Chains A and B, each alone.
Chain A
């Protein structure tokens, strides 16, 4: 009986990896539609569990204590931190976990390379040996993939950590110096050159150096990028990690890794492009350009203030209200209060909709997640393309901590750095109210013409407090 199981074990393990790959694909597919999304992650989760259990059954596995120690300690840490983190901090957690995956792939690649160095004498050039079982020699193709995986994975690791630091507020500046692009370009070329050299002369010191340079490149690439572009960068590194995992999957001859990694690599690349497009930026300008500063004309006029009580009255007697949430709502954790206020307006027969700009907040869909957390049904939430035509028939547009995504200079001032970026047409609404903490400029550092418009009023204060006052105002009616 035992012998039969032993005989079928390799096929059983292969079948488990196959099943995992299928579950990942169907899981991702289900995640791409709102109705089935919740189930999608569970499917993918089963795939992960099956693949992990199958790996324990592989023959010739050593260091079981080490494996279990690393697996259990990290799983517990990540599980607890993932459960505890506030919804508003999700983007940086995604960056952190993504960096870990990239790092894992990079270390796997480095191990394969070090192992190949140790056994260099015993290998003839070009031999293909199953590394998962013999684990001694690397074929030429495997070596190229291992090196490429180290390169991409290390960039994803260090770059994601910098992105995490920036979103967490630990690194609050953009580090820019003259000749930076040239310098970064040199480091990139040097690293790639060393990688190519490694394929000819594999040697332990150079592997260390190559790994270090790749990590450095990830840091250098990410430091000059402003916070507004961070979502695009995280998404890009997500795709990077996918690629690195896929490449190391080839080195280890593991089909589940190859398929899942490449699936994410491609999906992540497309997602990155869509995000960049929504911001009217090319990927190149995100990585190598820098946004913000001074460009554009100065704006004449004055910002007019409104009191919460008056704003509440204006909304209560409106037929149509569109709410535009932005990062200010996320920082203030105002989504619950916002939904409470919205329910009061709905009870009064006001038609309330939420308009979400593709890049509102720190990640595409960030606002949707927060609103969903507060219990806002998703059929009240509209994408930019669907709602932009409706502003002209809207009585009040309530902007909560959003700035650049409602700035009409994107349509009017060709000199402005955000010129051409699609915006929500709040300026077309009959009235608009902007909840904002102070008079400063937004993330991109550009003056907002909407704030100075005749039909616009400013409601100063923290989003949470301001909405609480609006609720009081509505109750008093």
Chain B
């Protein structure tokens, strides 16, 4: 039970640029996912379920929706006198403006990290959807007497700007850490999650600030020889959101019972802000097949292969297929919608037709009336 000695840090804005449509008005962490959640719920719940008592959320821009979602951390049992949840707005010690990389983002909150007094820091992004067990990850770090442990999965390298490939020796120690911009198959791809000893993190941050290094990769690549950096292989479910298509696929993955079991394991609930919506209502002649339906939905039409978020209305005669429909969106009577990602509060008018393609879902922005 080392988790009580761990500080969690979540980058809520990392990789915002890969889904500019979804992050125009919000952070990656507050991107809606899986019918009733925001991406950050999975990181936060994972940490809480692992027994981590203190979590700091690093923000950079557009974080009002994130603050609204997190509140004081109560839904995750993180509203506490001791430890608990803290939102860390941009705080720049060196120059003005928002931060450029992970190192200077963390450096801006170095006081918070230091004051936590925790032995270890677990650092994650929000766009990696996985069933990783943080407790096992931390135990591995301790068992290997590592100073830094980076989680990786063998597979496709995502199309994110700091996609990193780990090269390991037989013992699992990282001997090289290189940016992978060819997006190769079958590489040991970093999940952008690491456990790091807090004292070392503080030292690195001071050094990096002095040398104007903003990203971890450059620093790690130079130091694999003198810092004990280990890789921790995660063999379970992984989906890295690196564009609107993978966002779409990650949602539809939840129609697979194995993925649902992986992401919603028994006894480890995923917590989110409670909205107190009434259960979903199915009308006469409604037809729903292979779909995930949240509370507050009203369905009088046909729905197939969809994720419907809270409070979605599918009117009489409407057809919605292969689509992700976010909170409070209304699909009008006899409308026909396929391969669409509709953001919150969209209104698709009576008899309107909208159709994307399987490899290119159409995105409809928040509040748009069609």
The reply to whether chain A is a binding partner of chain B is no
Chain B positions within 8 Å of A, measured between CB atoms, are none
